[in-house]
Structure 1
Amino acid sequence: MSAEQAEQLWRGGVATAVGSWPGTDPREAAATIVGELGELAHLVELPGRGTGSDMIGRTAALLVDMPFDVSTRAYRLTARPSAVARRARDFLRTDLDALEEAWEGTGSAGSGRTVKVQAVGPLTLAAQLELTSGHRVLTDSGAVRDLSASLAEGITRHAAEVASRLGAKVVVQLDEPSSSAVLEGSLPGTSVLDSVRAVPAPEALFVLDAVITGVPGPVLVHTCADRPALEFLRGSAAAAIGFDLATIRTADLDDIGELLEVGKQLALGVIPVQSPATPVTWRELAEPAVRLVDRLGVGRRTLADRVLITPACGLANTPLTWARRALSLATETARVFSEDPESLTFE
């Protein structure tokens, strides 16, 4: 896919959400997401339903020829399929059925609109998924390669099914909340004597890019880490990088500027995942993004051309009333950015 085609799918001035949503009703969730996020809706995740519906279980359900189950600590690769794996795949099918129903209900079927699907990226998946021995997959480089190949194939099949059922263009989001810990070597092992080594950046980048380049269409890599690995992600093949804007420090500004310099889009998490103590307006939430591009000196048209607006992270643990308000605020902020960001003023 050319850079121009990627930009058409990831054009700025658009609101979307990270993935997870509160509650357990897939039809209600799909209807809300499709209705509120008219330009970039997504296949919703509902972790509130329990095992198999969280981000790791959802992604494990996409793996090809890699059965899994649960252990006392996490999900674990196994020799044969399990009831947990069947449950996770059933959740995925139910959610896709609900999205298709909502998509058709808004007249979007066959419209060629863009929809987003999410999966955990290979670094986080290898960090959180266990081998049969109980060690993290990340501790076995051969297993990491196998996992990455299986993940890329599974996402490709999944995206093709979504595109076929909805008559839509599909973009992929890879969630990498553990990427910083993988690079820093801060993940705990099975005991105090069993450490998990830090993965060198070139090795980690090879693993990540194997999936990014192995799936169709442009990819957004999103991280909710307190210290997002922006310099590392700049070197990836991702078309867009997403992060919580509230985590950004002055030292990160050069990295953000370089992300833009190399042609990447930004998905800025400017909407808090929990309701603020006092009511907020889109203007208050938009201000940090405006001040960011002003400090970078890249021009406010960047907000219209290169920036997507999102909540800071997933909304699964958010009250439903605020989750809906968060989407509304994201949409309103994105609309203002797309129309006339130059006119915005702040005291």
Structure 2
Amino acid sequence: MSEKRKQTPWGPAAATGLGSMPGTDAREAAKTVTGSLETPGHLPYLPELPARGPGADMLGRTAGMLAELYVHLEPSGWRISDRPGRDTRRARAWLGEDLDAIEEFTQEMAGVGGGGGEGGGACLKVSAVGPWTLAAGLERRNGEAMLGDPGACRDLAASLAEGLREHLAGLRRRVPGATLVLQLDEPSLTAVLQGSVRTASGYRAHPAVDRAVVEGTLREVFAVHDGPVVVHSCAPGVPVALLRRAGADGISLDAALLTERDDEVIGEAVEGGVTLFAGVVPSTESEGGALSDPAGSVGGVRSLWRRLGLSPGLLAESVVVTPTCGLAGASPAYARRALAHCVQAARSLADNPQ
């Protein structure tokens, strides 16, 4: 295979996390993330703290970013509202607290992260739920998922795009000079494509959405950001080829779920310059997270590289090491160890790519 690499704002042998962190203290989470990933080349990120409750969860946090669409919480989940109420205000307040914290701990951002791209400057990753997981998770006023109404899906994607545009502009003001990396979380994307998202009754499923429609919507949302876009899913069957065609610069997945059947699409994506964000570090202690062997953690990535026939010298440039999923279910102490382990495992890819 012939390889070509895109310029990236992170460096070779990079590590990052996937968004969520344990606890309820935004300052402590921001301190942990920026401290663990402070070495130039790694990718610090804006933490999410779902333990704080509704509005700090993945769906509620992103719903609070929507432009001219509002939500409220029902027993069945988040539902579209006519006007901003208490739940929307709370989601926005939690996000504001997170932004204040990351701004405080990135005052010296020129020395944090970065080092991989043309400018070699700092970078910061921010995440939001992607349009299809949002459509599968948000309810219309009748209690059914927005996914069941193509017009509602289009309106939701447009609202998300405008909300993300405003969110990114605000971050640029708070952390001037940093290159922002946008991560879109799409754990429901495979289910949307397969037609396995259940209706409110649970007796049937919403029809599969046409792949061209899914791809086009993703492309439109990606276009709001002029920097790198990464799509994350820790579900099985991530549609790597579709995401690559839509323009994703990075694809983040649980590497343990890959099989040899995935080799061709992974190889084509890497050949095309897509960075593989490889989830290899257990996200909780219960997953067997002894964290004693950084080189062993990326052994499967090395094996994948050999099967693909790619140059070992490009391994550290083409892979970013991450936990398998968010760290919200871990203890604060384990979350710190897991991020440190990601850094050590990434370094081992550069030191010993074979």
Partner deviation per Cα, 1:134-159 (whole Å, 9 max, x = no partner): 11111111111111111111111111
Q: What's the Cα RMSD here? A: 1.9
Show the counterpart of 1:260: 270
> How many matched pairs?
338
Q: Secondary structure at the match of 1:290?
A: helix
Q: Which residue of 1 aligns with 2:132?
A: 123
SS in 1 for 2:144: coil
Task: Work out the CA distance in 2 between the residues paired with 1:299 and 1:176.
Answer: 30
Aligned residue number for residue 24 of structure 1 = 24
Distance 2:33 2:205 in 1: 41
Question: Where do 1:175-186 residues align within 5 Å?
Answer: 175-186=185-196
Does structure 2 conserve the Cα–Cα contact (< 8 Å) formed by 1:303 and 1:341?
no
Correspondence for 1:288: 300
Once the two structures are superposed, what CA deviation does each residue of 1:193-236 show, in whole Å capped at 9, x if it has no partner? 55311112111111111101222312001111022222322322
* Equivalent residues of 1:119, 1:174 under 8 A apart: yes
1-structure distance, mates of 2:56, 2:6: 30
Counterpart selection for 1:47 from 46, 50, 58: 50
**Residues 309 and 278 from structure 1, CA distance in 2 versus in 1: closer, same or farther, beyond 3 angstroms?**
closer
- Write the distance in 1 (CA, Å) between the matches of 2:289 and 2:280: 16
Runs (4+) off by over 6 Å: none
Partners of 2:64 and 2:202 in 1: how far apart? 31
Correspondent of 1:321 among 333, 344, 348: 333
TM-score normalised to structure 2 length: 0.91
Kindly state the Cα deviation for residue 104 of structure 1 after the two structures are TM-superposed: 2.0
Q: What TM-score, normalized by structure 1, do the two folds share? A: 0.92
Residue of structure 1 equivalent to 2:213 = 203
CA distance in 1, matches of 2:23, 2:202: 37
Q: Secondary structure at the match of 1:9?
A: coil
Structure 1: 5+ residue stretches without partners:
none
Instruction: Provide the residue aligned with 1:91 in structure 2.
Output: 94
2:117 aligns to what?
Answer: none
The verdict on how the C-alpha distance between 1:17 and 1:278 changes in structure 2, with shifts beyond 3 A counting, is: closer
Q: Which residue of 2 aligns with 1:173?
A: 183
| Residue number among 233, 248, 251 corresponding to 1:223 in the alignment | 233
Alpha-carbon shift at residue 169 of structure 1 (Å)? 1.5
Q: Which residue of 1 aligns with 2:70?
A: 67
Comparing 7-16 and 72-81, the one that deviates more: 7-16
CA distance in 1, matches of 2:27, 2:6: 30
CA contact (8 A) 2:71 2:79 kept: yes
- Is 2:109–2:122's contact at 8 Å kept on the other side of the alignment? no
Give the counterpart letter for 2:216 in structure 1. Answer: F
Distance 1:154 1:214 in 2: 10
Q: CA deviation at 1:105?
A: 6.3
Q: 1:10, 1:265 within 8 Å by CA — same for their partners in 2?
A: no
